[in-house]
């Protein structure tokens, strides 16, 4: 029992704490109900409240059961306070005023001063509680009677009665047989008792003795209907309807008239009441649980009303924050992959072997023809510029999203034009001439003369192609031509080695710009959201504590709507940068191969000071536009990267022979020319045919074009038909048409 009382105390504390947190108006019904139910939980006695409109004989009935005129009675409404009758060794009264004054008197005469209505039939406002102590056998078992004011007189009295009913374990509703169950009584029965979980109710009919015998029979039938319609939760075998003529019962009890008391119905009612109380006292939890649940559910709903909008607002903030984080995370992966691929392409070009294979012969010829500057501008510089732009594009896209360090343009300067000095040339008469100084200002072909210059150019091409730069010549004429050719070749080779060394050095340093730009974390939680998180935690803790105590004290099952979900950290763990960052690149080869690409992180190098006389190749990108919808932009970048990866994989898959490569190069050249033409001059028939090849309606969006292109590349990838030559040939044809259509439409 001690543990039960302790549990009840903890539950009452949880209810009061929640009520305080909700800042309920002390005059509100919910606040009054909460206080009443808390007082009920912490009161170990079994309380019986007598409930009825005024002049129904409530005080008279209690006096009859006590066998004394303990409570004031009159023909006018008298009870002006809730009078609690408890066990005491002698009859005495205790009144506590609102200011804390404690008044104790022997007997009950003092009730006429503090516990009755004033001349205006109003309750006194300075009385906090009224208690009467009486030596009665039933009270000695831990039972208390509560004499309540009448309910149909004043609003203040109604509020007091309504509140006190929650603190009653058993309600005795006294009915006037002469005007049985008025509309107000029925409403009070529904609203004050049934709807609030108070279902241990016994009906007692008074004044039945004032009716004629025939009327008594009719009233008794109506009484049974009232009792049956209200399904009271009483122990089995007990009726919830009794007849007690209160005033005759009191008179008989005062005279010691047992027959009169029995005739009035008092003894039958007292006997049943004592037995019901004896049973219900053993199951106070079953009695109190329904009404506590009713009030607690209102408090739970009020707490939930506070919790839900905060949860929604905070969840929306973190969901939005998480979405931005996910976009940035995916963008970082895509940008790193594209940046690394572009870096590798430029590094591949800057490899000395590749530079020699691609530029040495043509560069030496251009040098011999005194056309090196033009050749440099139209070939090497143009190739470098495009690759540098491809790299810088990724940095500017990273800056557009992450808004951190603004990137610098990638600048790989080219060395000065190679300078050559020709060897002594034997003259016709055996004399030698020194053309070295002249070679500085004119082409070698011009210096040496027509056929001789042409022979030098041809010798350069022959020696580079056959790798004969170091082969000794057999004739003097050939020896001189080869010497001149070798000088041009070596000069260009030295030039390309400078491009190699300087370009790779600058590129290694430039790679680290991406690490400075891609810096992202979850947005800092604003102070307003932090405050709302604290507030939400406060509400959730209160509801959780109330739920726990309801389960622990009364075994209440908490509905799902009032459950408190444990707080979840919506911020994912963000790992610090590692020495190496791995990202997955899915390469389409017909079977879905997954490759692991390792992106090395290198230590920063000091910036190399460039000579002012050097010519710089500049890959200048415009500043990024204001960010709009990051998710939409990223989706566009993502599909662009997929398409670029597909094209790269098609180039590596083996089905693109040299002829196809040449065709693609030719197509690229054509694209360069067509890009300079105005949109109005593009052949409409070709555009219509391109839409038809892709299976799209004219005017389709670029997103639709890209998505369709991606699907068709996957469908017609030649590697899928490697063991079916005819289908592979068809696939190659389809891929070529699809590529041409996409190339045309993507420029629209």
Give the pLDDT confidence of 65-110 residue by residue, as tens digits: 998 887 876 544 455 578 899 999 999 999 998 898 999 999 988 8
User: What residues are paired with 562 via a beta bridge?
Assistant: none
Per-residue model confidence (pLDDT) at position 439: 43
- From residue 71, give the alpha-carbon distance in Å to each of 80, 91, 101: 12, 11, 22
- Looking at the fold, whether 468 and 543 belong to one and the same domain comes out as no
Backbone angles phi and psi of 405, in degrees to 5: -85, 125
Which residue did the predictor score with more confidence, 491 or 611?
Answer: 491
Do 264 and 162 share a structural domain? yes
364/432 same-domain check: yes
Query: Could you tell me which residues are beta bridge partners of residue 170?
Result: 48
* Structure confidence at residue 121 (pLDDT): 61
Confidence (pLDDT) at 684: 79
Q: Are residues 29 and 49 in the same domain?
A: no
Q: Are residues 149 and 14 in the same domain?
A: no
| Predicted local distance difference test score (pLDDT) of residue 705 | 85
The number of beta carbons lying within 10 Å of the beta carbon of residue 462 is 14
In a domain, 625, yes or no: no
Cβ neighbours for 26, distance < 8 A, ≥ 6 positions apart = none
- What pLDDT is stored for residue 465 in this prediction? 65
Domain that holds residue 28: 1-44+525-564
pLDDT in tens, 654-684: 444 434 444 444 454 445 444 444 445 557 7
At 239, which helix (H) or strand (E)?
A: none
**117-148 tens-digit pLDDT:** 665 666 677 888 899 999 999 999 999 999 88
User: Do residue 111 and residue 159 come from a single domain?
Assistant: yes
700 domain-assigned: no
Residue 690 phi, psi (nearest 5) = -65, -45
Which residues does residue 143 pair with via DSSP β-bridges, in sequence order?
Answer: 46
Q: What pLDDT is stored for residue 441 in this prediction?
A: 39
Q: What is the pLDDT of residues 267-321, one digit of tens each?
A: 999 999 999 999 999 888 888 888 899 999 999 999 999 999 999 999 998 888 8
Residues 331 and 348 in one domain: yes
The stretch 589-598 carries a mean pLDDT of 33
Mean pLDDT, the chain, whole residue set = 78
The verdict on pTM exceeding 0.75 is no
Any domain includes 594: no
Average pLDDT over residues 513-539: 86
Both 481 and 371 in one domain: the answer is yes
Q: Which residue has the higher pLDDT, 13 or 452?
A: 13
114 pLDDT band (50/70/90 cuts)? confident
Band of pLDDT at residue 732, cut at 50, 70 and 90: confident
- Cβ-in-10-Å burial (0-12, 13-18, 19+) of 672 comes to exposed
Which tens digit of pLDDT belongs to each residue from 329-376? 888 888 898 899 999 999 999 999 999 999 998 998 888 888 899 999
* Amino acid 602: pLDDT: 36
Most confident range, picked from 305-309, 488-492, 714-718, 730-734: 305-309
Domain count, the chain: 3
């Amino acid at each position: 029992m001690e543990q039960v009382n302790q549990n009840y105390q903890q539950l009452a504390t949880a209810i009061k704490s929640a009520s305080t947190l909700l800042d309920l108006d002390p005059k509100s019904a919910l606040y009054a109900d909460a206080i009443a139910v808390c007082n009920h939980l912490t009161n170990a006695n079994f309380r019986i409240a007598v409930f009825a409109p005024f002049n129904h004989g409530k005080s008279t009935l209690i006096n009859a059961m006590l066998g004394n005129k303990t409570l004031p009675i009159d023909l006018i409404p008298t009870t002006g306070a809730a009078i609690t009758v408890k066990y005491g060794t002698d009859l005495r009264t205790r009144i506590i005023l609102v200011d804390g004054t404690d008044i104790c008197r022997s007997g009950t005469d003092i009730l006429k001063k503090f516990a009755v209505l004033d001349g205006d039939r109003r309750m006194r406002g300075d009385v906090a509680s009224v208690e009467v102590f009486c030596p009665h056998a039933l009270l000695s078992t831990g039972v208390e009677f509560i004499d309540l004011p009448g309910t149909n007189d004043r609003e203040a009295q109604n509020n007091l009665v309504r509140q006190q009913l929650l603190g009653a374990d058993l309600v005795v509703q006294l009915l006037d047989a002469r005007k049985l169950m008025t509309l107000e009584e029925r409403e009070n029965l529904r609203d004050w008792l049934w709807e609030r979980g108070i279902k241990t109710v016994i009906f007692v009919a008074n004044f039945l003795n004032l009716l004629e015998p025939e009327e008594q029979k009719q009233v008794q039938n109506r009484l049974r209907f009232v009792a049956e319609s209200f399904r009271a939760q009483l122990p089995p075998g007990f009726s919830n309807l009794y007849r007690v003529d209160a005033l005759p019962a009191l008179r008989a009890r005062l005279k010691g008239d047992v027959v009169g008391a029995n005739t009035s119905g008092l003894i039958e009612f007292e006997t049943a009441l004592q037995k019901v109380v004896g049973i219900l006292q053993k199951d106070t939890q079953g009695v109190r649980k329904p009404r506590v649940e009713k009030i607690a559910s209102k408090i739970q709903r009020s707490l939930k009303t506070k919790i839900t909008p905060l949860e929604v607002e905070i969840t929306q903030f973190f969901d939005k924050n998480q979405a931005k984080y996910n976009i940035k995370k995916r963008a970082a992966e895509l940008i790193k992959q594209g940046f690394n691929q572009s870096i590798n392409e430029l590094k591949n070009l800057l490899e000395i072997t590749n530079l020699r294979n691609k530029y040495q012969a043509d560069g030496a010829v251009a040098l011999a023809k005194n056309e090196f500057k033009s050749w440099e501008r139209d070939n090497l510089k143009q190739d470098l510029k495009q690759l540098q732009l491809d790299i810088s594009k990724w940095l500017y896209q990273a800056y557009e999203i992450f808004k951190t360090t603004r990137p610098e343009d990638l600048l790989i300067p080219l060395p000065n034009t190679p300078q050559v000095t020709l060897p002594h040339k034997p003259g016709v008469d055996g004399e030698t001439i020194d053309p070295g100084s002249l070679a500085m200002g004119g082409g070698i072909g011009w210096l040496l003369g027509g056929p001789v210059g042409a022979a030098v150019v041809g010798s350069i091409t022959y020696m580079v192609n056959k790798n004969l730069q170091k082969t000794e010549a057999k004739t003097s004429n050939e020896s001189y031509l080869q010497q001149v050719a070798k000088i041009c070749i070596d000069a260009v080779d030295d030039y390309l080695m400078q491009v190699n060394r300087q370009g790779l050095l600058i590129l290694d340093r430039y790679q680290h710009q991406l690490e400075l730009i891609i810096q992202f974390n979850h947005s800092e939680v604003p102070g307003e959201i932090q405050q709302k998180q604290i507030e939400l935690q406060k509400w959730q803790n209160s509801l959780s504590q109330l739920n726990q105590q309801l389960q622990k004290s009364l075994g209440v099952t908490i509905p799902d709507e009032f459950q408190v979900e444990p707080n979840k950290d919506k911020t994912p763990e963000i790992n610090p940068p590692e020495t190496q960052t791995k990202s997955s690149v899915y390469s389409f080869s017909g079977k879905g191969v997954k490759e692991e690409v390792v992106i090395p992180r290198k230590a920063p190098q000091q910036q190399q000071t460039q000579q002012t006389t050097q010519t710089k190749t500049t890959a200048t990108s415009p500043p990024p536009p204001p960010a709009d919808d990051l998710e939409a932009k990223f989706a566009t970048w993502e599909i662009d990267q997929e398409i670029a990866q597909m094209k790269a994989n098609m180039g590596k898959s083996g089905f693109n022979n040299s002829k196809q490569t040449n065709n693609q190069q030719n197509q690229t050249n054509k694209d360069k020319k067509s890009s300079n033409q105005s949109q109005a001059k593009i052949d409409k028939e070709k555009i219509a045919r391109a839409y038809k090849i892709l299976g799209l309606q004219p005017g389709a969006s670029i997103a639709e074009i890209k998505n369709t292109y991606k699907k068709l590349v996957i469908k017609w990838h030649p590697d899928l038909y490697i063991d079916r030559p005819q289908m592979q040939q068809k696939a190659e044809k389809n891929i070529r048409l699809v590529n041409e259509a996409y190339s045309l439409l993507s420029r629209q």
